[in-house]
Structure 1
Amino acid sequence: MDTQKLIIALILPLLVPCSSSSFTPIDNYLLSCGSQSNASLFNRIFIGDSTNQGSIFLSADKSISLTNQNPPPDFSTLYHSARVFTNRGSYKFSMRKNGTHLVRFHFSPFKAQGFDLKAANFSVLVGGNLVLRNFKPGKGTPLLKEFILKVESNSLEIVFRPEGDSGLGFVNAVEVFSAPDDLVIDYGTKLVGPSGVEEYKNLSSQVLETIHRINVGGVKLTPFNDTLWRIWIPDEEFLVIKDAAKPVVSTHTPNYQNGMATREIAPDNVYMTAQEMNRDHSILASRFNITWDFPVAPGGVRHLVRLHFCDIVSPALNVLYFDVYINGHSAYQDLDLSSLTFHELASPVYVDFVADSDRSGVIQISVGPSDLSGDMRMNAILNGAEIMQMVNVVDSHSHVVTRKKRLWILVGSIVGGIVLLFIIVAFLLTLQCRRKKKKKPRQRTVESVGWTPLRVFGGSSLSRMSEGTAFPSPGAYGYFGLRIPFTDIQLATNTFDRSLIIGSGGFGMVYKGVLKDNVKVAVKRGMPGSRQGLPEFQTEITILSKIRHRHLVSLVGYCEENSEMILVYEYVEKGPLKRHLYGSSRDEPLSWKQRLEICIGAARGLHYLHTGFAQGIIHRDIKSTNILLDENYVAKVADFGLSRSGPCINETHVSTGVKGSFGYLDPEYFRRQQLTDKSDVYSFGVVLFEVLCARPAVDPQLDREQVNLAEWALEWQKKGMLEHIIDPYLVGKIKQSSLKKFGEIAEKCLAEYGVDRPTMGHVLWNLEYTLQLHENEESEQEMEPELYDDANDVHGSVNVTTTIVPGNPSSNIRRESDSDNGYSDMSATQVFSQLITNEGR
């Protein structure tokens, strides 16, 4: 594949000449901001806004021209100067033509004349639309922000407004130019979601911010190769499984006459390259999808997804049929490019979809073979992709909005006063009636709560649960019941201010908040009005209302008003364990002692779940993101939305559908759909290796043998060479005896069969022993006990800080009858192979 990419990179620029812009925009304003001379970028001349010709567009009483005295040598002269706004300032442009326009901003902060543009914080409005809110350009590398919007007046004003304490806004260059009439059209767009596919109307009225512009299967394209001066980047870093795709290239110029697209929709180079199914790769099944994950704004933010196609792989018409998926939902079935191009091969087309981002902040695009494809013709392609966020936000500072807001406040006050009067009268009448009736006793039990679906408005049986359920520790957080009023939660989160978002998960966005009694909380809000996540919502309340433990995240309360599903937890200061192990957000690396203490704390929490109740509780989603750390690095297990009660005394397992996270999923549970507490033990074993190696449980960007952490680390553990794959920060900082014992614990947790895995109490005891090995400098540690088996211990861990009592050796021998009880010979590797083909979950 590398050879193919090299060929594409070398020959494609020779096949397609650089575009001299065949499209001439009627409105075309290019400004070099803060400059007294013109600047050039990609053969386009930007007029200095401090020149006589450029100053007519500037409207700012207190703006400053700033020049970088020491610009980086490889930066364009366009980034050598900036227009700085210490107060609200703007540019105004006369529009000769109404319709769709492109607006671009160039940002490259620097220090000069006492100003540090890296500290800037400001908002930008275009035609009254707030397109950038509290924007911080950050680092000094050039940054381009592009917006597509419809202009319906004779002028366009662009406003820069400093925000916060910085009192500073800036811009290096501004582009405003009209777009072709057919760049954004109002018909043919498909809205894709859980409920299916439907028509989406009035697309052109949206303000769109370009997030990704991808040349699939090809190389980076600069504005030299695009009639609208756009940049297209390669797709390789977004491929979920790189081996699933194979790049292809055509030497023939696309046939635009019979296609739906033009060169302004996408340039020749995009339609002359593609990714197709790599059917030659031995590890992939006969039917599979090519999948790309594109990071975007999380939490259901709406996006336009434009996909570009050009059949450069088929030898004849009506051969290629494939399906398109967005976020796992079917977007286009049995797509036949021939039928869209007047039955001509190599004719460009594009299809527009509208979809919402998931809660983790991803738009996922997949293409795969259709059921109409024969085995010999099975294929799917994609040539290009554009993802644009819809950012229509009217400025709350505008005078019109302010006047309307004041009017509504006045009307609301009058109406509210009348309603309040009626409520008081009704309350007094109801109270008088109730005094005449004998009060009936209420049941106070959590287990007997009957759940019903959420109603569209008001509460459900869940809302009434607090009437008969006392909080396990009344008043610990200022609330004697579980239920918290929605108004209190709004106040705690500043009406769900996006700046307070601290994470997102499968249920919804998580906000930092402060309740009335100054208690910090984490507020997890489901999608308002949606029933998705209702079972997890109910499970979290049912489970967490029954338990209190130092190593389990505590539930403060919940809210179910106005179709909201909100859970309120104690705030855990330092966030997920994953953040402290790897990635760009990794803080100060954790010491080996800290990591062991964190693992011990998490093990204690899990041991309590498994043994602290008659049936026990199985978490089902143990992973590094669900282990949180407080200000003292004390571990707390979180997220009980997938939890289940364990088997009854006379049962060995719980039969249930497979739930969990890729890379952490117990292979035996996956095969047999029989859940036990040993499934949590397997997941915890993956976490142990994650803590040791400081890498994700699944990393598709690595070589095949390294993709799955559990498989890869077990190979090194069995070779006795675990020290070769540990976090580089830990090299030379772990005693060999401690590392050896830790590896043995993780290996036993990851045993193929649950019967061969230790209990969590067993794991806990040995982790504490591993910590003592690390801390003890004397040679007596050579007398290591076998892994302690505490199958009958339900009270907690053994205190190993004084005397170590060797336990009975645990059996690792597979039972003779296993083969007769439904165990397959499928290995963990085979199970993982199923998971990556999207058939496992």
Structure 2
Amino acid sequence: MLYFALCFFFLLQIFTTTTTPTTPPPYRATDFILLNCGSSTNSTDSSHRSWDGDERSKYAPPNASTASSALQASSQHSSVNTVPYMTARVFHSQFTYTFPVLTGPKFIRLYFYPNTYSNYNTTQSFFSVSVNNFTLLNNFSAYLNSPSPSNPSFMKEYLINVEENQRIDLTFSPNQNSFAFINGIEIVSVPDKLYFMGNDVQIKFIDQSYYLQDDTVLENLYRLNVGGTNIEIQDDSGMFRAWYQDDDYIFGGDYGFNPHADDVRIHYTPQTPPYSAPEKVYTTSRTMANTSISLEWLFPVDSGFYYLHRFHFCEIQLEITKINHRVFEISIDNQTVDVGVDVIYWTGGTEIPIYKDYITWVPDDGRHGKKDLRLSLFPDLRTHPLYANALLNGLEIFKLSDQSRSLAAANPEPLPVEFDGESGLQPENEKKKKSRKPLVIIGSVIGVIALIIAAMSFLSFRSGTTNPTKSSWIPLSYVSGSTTRTSGSGSSLPSNLCKHFLLDEMKSATNNFNDNFVIGKGGFGNVYKGYIDNGATAVAIKRLNTSSNQGVHEFLTEINMLSKLRHLHLVSLLGYCDENGEMILVYEYMAHGTLREHLYNSENSLLPWKQRLQICIGAAKGLHYLHTSAKHTIIHRDVKSTNILLDEKWVAKVSDFGLSRVGPTGGLHTHVSTVVKGSFGYLDPEYYRRQQLTDKSDVYSFGVVLFEVLCARPPIIPSLPKEKVNLAEWAKLCFKKGTLEQTIIDPSLKDEIAPECLSKYIETALMCLRDRGTERPAMSDVVWSLEFAMQLQEAAEKRDVDVAMDIVGGGFSPLAKPSFPLLWNGGPNSTDHEEMFSGSSEAASRSKSSGFLSASASSSQKMNSGEVFSEILNPAGR
């Protein structure tokens, strides 16, 4: 019985051990040294760790008393009246600490408190620090590197791999006629293979591999608990790493986050052991809010170095349970470093953590000065995941020593100090620490003002006589005017470029913004139909909704862009109101509303094909005007069917310039680097990945509109099967399969489109949707190609009429329809219509000079070669 009882007891113990979750044990450091510099006694810090005084320490050289001074810090800041900041060791000449340690990686943490020590003013302290023949700091000023006067103490953390010598030599070298100082030194061992994973382990470096050598020294710049709160060193997993919240670095958007979930149990793995990061890192995260289209952070870093980025991921949301539920891309410094990131695919399930490393290079500015490093996460929609979202739980950024075995960089510029009525003098970065988001808003306003100045400088329109080859899109005269300050946006607005309406006039025009006057709603707010000039003139009045994500930026951009632009195919801005916090824009009234309202999901009758095509031609002319008719390109950035309006004569006009940007200024500037903005389904994927905006981004969006017009469906329908969700991708897929005509085209257009016109139209749309912007046509070519498609349509209709008359005259009845092989069937596009335009020597010359394929080439050859608009041979359409 005793035997069976013991067996039962042991089985019970085993069962209990394997089924009851336990907190993973922390890492046990094999080397752990805390040195309180300048102190002669042992002390305990706020985390209950014991520090040894370095007076007569075994780590200091025998002549320490003559080479250095142990000094007490003055009590200026209560926030730093803790060990090790209460004392300092000041060095008058070169001084070396020697620490015997075991081989392997070690954290070295240097603690600085720039203060007045006896007669030593640390504002005059400049020195260098080296470790085992690596330069950590050079001409370093702790005063200039201090976070702020109100919180001056700081720590610098380095990671070194100790090899055969089994010791760390830490040397302080004061500059001539200066001195060096240090408050505390910490050395703690690190698990093997945690950061130094082996000289033969590949790390992704954009589209190639990088090998982090064991003889590299790393400096930790950022360690963030993304979406969570600060994690103190005693709560780390044995290496006393501090993890900070990421709020100070979030950039340019509205972000959601998942707070700590108490019921989540993190399941560490051999690939991601418990000491990789604390559980709190993996049980909090930041994800995209419903109103954002990416996750963005901005980090100041030193130029001229490689950087190791460690991303920590763990899926803990209840909705994300399977592969392809959430897939995203990672971009660092506007370069895509990874695509198709699917955490569950990597880990095999939820609540399983993982980290991924990436290397990037930040070019030198000539002095290793500061640059902003942008980190971006975008949804990757190519596999049609269930959710368009991205995720990050934690982040570590390390700077890597360069070829000269150095991590040294330039000191920051002295901070300008401004008066704060509440707390006295504050430097600018202290304000950043207090609240990053208000600073982002202020920065955005400053950016808007800069944009206004740039726009007013750049929009000097070309003068000269009318060129007969550009007919309808010649720009009208440039309108100049003064500015006046109003009380709404708090910025100077043009008073002579468009009319400044009073708020009372706006209320009178809309019956005090009565809901019965609402004719549309958008991201900016409600659009009302109103009447001005004593009821004689109908106008569209767009009023900013205070809860809208748009605001002063879009308001000012719209005014300063559109008030200077005058074209038949651009909506005219008549004026604005900027009073009592209201921001209102007044436009010419467009009687037939938006293009989308006449394509689908509307009670309006659907437009016939030729009218749709004419509208596309008009919209293309409006965009061409934006791209070419000013000194510098204007990029619309939000081209879509709801931003193409139709007046009482069905003339198409491009509208809504709130997101518009002045394009590159020429020379080496080929794009504008900017946060991604626009509308899902229309966004240029290249701009989406790289955050590099060009006029070809508008071309891509217009290509989506072309298919939207042809297919009469929204660009995104989430409820459809995966391959049909995205209109642009589905159209390209159907083209490859040769099923486009049968599966995707609006059934109401059956028998309306001449096959040759349809072929040219689809060719145009597909070229607009090319993945690479450089392979897309210019809007001038798009205009020309669409006008050619219209000529093909009209020629086919005329031919049909002539054939019908011949048939009827010969005694045959119904109207015959000519047969014309479509482009996606791979047959040659060679019928009589090609010879219709081949007689023009000017056309032949243009075709040859443009590098277009000859008319005798097959359509499939043209598409495969990448040539654009090979059949545009008649310049009369322009």
> What TM-score results when the alignment is normalised by the length of structure 2?
0.47
Larger radius of gyration, structure 1 or 2? 2
Calculate the TM-score normalised by the size of structure 1.
0.49
